[in-house]
Amino acid sequence: MKHLPKNLLSFAFLFSAAAFSQTSLDSRLAVLDPIINDAIAQQQIPGAVVIVGHDGQVVYRKAYGSRAIEPRREAMTLDTIFDCASMTKVLATTPAIMQLWEQGKFRMNDPVAKYLPEFGQNGKQDITIRQLLVHYSGLGPDLDLTKPWEGKETAYRMAFEGAPQWAPGATFIYSDINFEVLGALVERLSGESLDQYAAKHIFGPLGMKETRFLPPPSWPVDISHCSNRGGREPSHPARSRP
Summarised one tens digit per residue, pLDDT across range 147-192 is 899 999 999 999 999 999 999 999 999 999 999 999 999 999 999 9
Task: Estimate the share of the chain in helix, then strand, then coil, as percent rounded to the nearest 5.
Answer: 35, 15, 50
Q: What is the mean pLDDT of residues 96-125?
A: 98
Residue ranges of domains in the chain, CATH in brackets: 6-78 (no CATH), 86-240 (3.40.710.10)
What contacts 234, CB < 8 A, 6 or more positions away?
143, 151, 152, 154, 155, 156, 180
Q: pTM for the whole thing?
A: 0.77
- Separation of alpha carbons 199 and 212, rounded Å: 7
pLDDT at 232 over 60: no
Q: Which of 135, 138, 111, 136 is nearest to 125 (CA)?
A: 111
Q: What is the DSSP letter of 160?
A: H
Residue type at position 21: S
Least confident of 20-24, 61-65, 166-170, 222-226: 20-24
Choose among 136, 132, 154: nearest CA to 233.
Answer: 154
**Contact between 60 and 211 (Cβ < 8 Å):** no
Q: What percent of the chain has pLDDT over 70?
A: 80
In the structure, what pLDDT confidence band is assigned to residue 19 with cuts at 50, 70 and 90? very low
Q: Are strands 223-224 and 81-83 parallel, antiparallel or unpaired?
A: parallel
Q: Which pLDDT tens digit goes with each residue over 114-156?
A: 999 999 999 999 999 999 999 999 999 999 989 899 999 999 9
* Rounded distance between C-alpha atoms, residue 123 and residue 127, angstroms: 9
